[in-house]
């Protein structure tokens, strides 16, 4: 029987590892994450008494996510995230800005790839933020699920960045930007996360979105060569020809040079999360002559939970608008729905 994807992921460590059905899977995901953190020498154990008196160690949390790749099956992923909102400016962080690829760049490159029948391969950097050294002294309280040495109490002094750390995206971007430029790739003046090969007659373009990488070229050999260089520097997952990117589902008809982009699975997950899976569908945009009816006003403002739910729903819908944007029309059929 095919495994079903839960509509909601656990929100705490205890909820995950004590889940009646999926507890062992979440526990295995936690162990994999901790093993990766250990291999990267992410932190040193420091006695609490050795932490400066004016510094409060930052807490952390586990984030759990089920993923359903287009090839089938379900992946259970656990990530340890530091609560960066507890950081103090000038004490444990300074600069934080890091650019991400523009979605207009992604749409343009997908269109060009469809026109010219380019290869589009995807790679993922495993625990990307663990590559650069952390700048400054950052102390973290002992996370759930971590067995500390005897003789504590202990805290973790970070050697490498963690997801959630305010400066982590900047440190990671500086690290991989320096590496890509050392390979002779030129950074685009329009989008600092688009890199273009400066050597060879056949163009090769790399698009970077945090720890997700897309490679575009008419030459499969050139794509393979760059993959080897990336594998030599970072621990990478080669995802092969693009199928999903930033929640976008991408299907190609290379014979007819048509590329389809949609977010059906994302929409279904949003509906399931908010109990709307059985709602009636409707065409969008709706006719301009539709008359909307205001629901009965209860006279009571939303409480904090209601406000958060409302904001999350609006944010989920806004992501659909931002990612899909308008249909791209550059001489090739690119269908966005």
Q: From the CA atom positions of the chain, what is the Rg in Å?
A: 23
In whole angstroms, what is the distance from residue 282 CA to residue 318 CA?
18
Confidence of residue 298 (pLDDT cuts 50, 70, 90): low
Burial class (CB in 10 A: 0-12, 13-18, 19+), 42: buried
Residues 184 and 197: their CA atoms lie apart, in Å, by 7
Mean pLDDT, all residues of the chain = 86
| Rama region for 59: left / alpha / beta (φ>0; ψ in -120 to 50; rest) | beta
pLDDT of the residue at 206:
97
As a whole number of angstroms, the distance between CA 130 and CA 1 comes to 37
- DSSP structure class, residue 90: T
Residue bearing the bigger pLDDT, 74 or 167: 167
Classify each residue of 125-143 as buried b or exposed e, where b means 16 or more C-beta atoms within 10 Å of its C-beta: bebbbbbbebeeebbbbbb
For residues 194 and 205, is the Cβ–Cβ distance under 8 A?
yes
Q: What's the average model confidence in pLDDT over 191-197?
A: 95
Q: Residue 2: its pLDDT value, please?
A: 43
d(CA 35, CA 62) in angstroms, rounded, equals: 15
The confidence score (pLDDT) of residue 333 equals: 37
For the chain, the structural domain boundaries read 13-279+303-336
Which tokens is 139 given?
């102390």
Q: What is the pTM of this model?
A: 0.77
Q: Maximum distance among all alpha carbons in the chain?
A: 72
Q: Which residues, listed in sequence order, are joined to residue 24 by a DSSP beta bridge?
A: none
Which residues, in sequence order, are bridge partners of residue 44? 157
Residue 143 confidence (pLDDT)? 94
Q: What per-residue confidence (pLDDT) applies to 331?
A: 31
**pLDDT tens for residues 164-183?**
999 999 999 999 999 999 99
Please spell the DSSP secondary structure of 119-188, one letter per residue.
EEEEEEETTGGGSSBPSS--EEEPPTT--PPSS--EEEEESB--TT-TTHHHHHHHHHHHHHHHTTEEEP
């Amino acid at each position: 029987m095919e495994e079903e994807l839960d509509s909601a992921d656990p929100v705490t460590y205890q909820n995950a590892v004590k889940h009646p059905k999926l507890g062992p899977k979440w526990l295995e995901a936690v162990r994999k994450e901790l093993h990766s953190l250990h291999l990267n020498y992410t932190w040193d154990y420091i006695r609490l008494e050795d932490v400066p008196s004016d510094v409060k160690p930052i807490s952390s949390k586990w984030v759990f996510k089920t993923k359903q790749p287009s090839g089938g099956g379900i992946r259970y992923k656990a990530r340890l995230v530091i609560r960066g909102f507890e950081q103090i400016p000038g004490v444990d962080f300074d600069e934080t800005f890091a650019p991400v690829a523009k979605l207009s760049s992604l749409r343009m490159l997908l269109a060009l790839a469809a026109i010219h029948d380019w290869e589009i391969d995807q790679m993922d950097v495993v625990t990307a933020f663990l590559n650069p050294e952390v700048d400054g002294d950052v102390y973290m309280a002992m996370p759930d699920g971590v067995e500390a040495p005897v003789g504590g109490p202990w805290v973790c002094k970070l050697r490498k960045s963690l997801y959630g750390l305010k400066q982590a995206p900047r440190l990671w971007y500086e690290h991989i930007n320096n590496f890509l430029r050392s390979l002779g790739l030129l950074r685009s003046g329009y989008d600092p996360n688009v890199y273009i090969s400066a050597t060879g007659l056949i163009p090769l373009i790399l698009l970077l979105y945090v720890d997700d990488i897309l490679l575009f070229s008419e030459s499969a050999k050139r794509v393979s060569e760059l993959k080897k260089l990336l594998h030599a520097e970072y621990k990478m997952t080669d995802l092969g020809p693009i199928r999903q990117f930033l929640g976008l589902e991408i299907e190609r008809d290379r014979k007819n040079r048509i590329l389809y982009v949609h977010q059906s699975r994302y929409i279904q997950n949003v509906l399931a999360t908010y109990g709307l899976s059985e709602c009636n569908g409707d065409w969008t945009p709706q006719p301009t002559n539709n008359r909307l009816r205001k629901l009965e006003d209860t006279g009571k403002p939303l409480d904090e939970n209601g406000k958060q739910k409302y904001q999350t729903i609006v944010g989920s819908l806004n992501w659909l608008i931002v990612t899909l944007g308008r249909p791209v029309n550059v001489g090739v059929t690119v269908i966005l729905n």
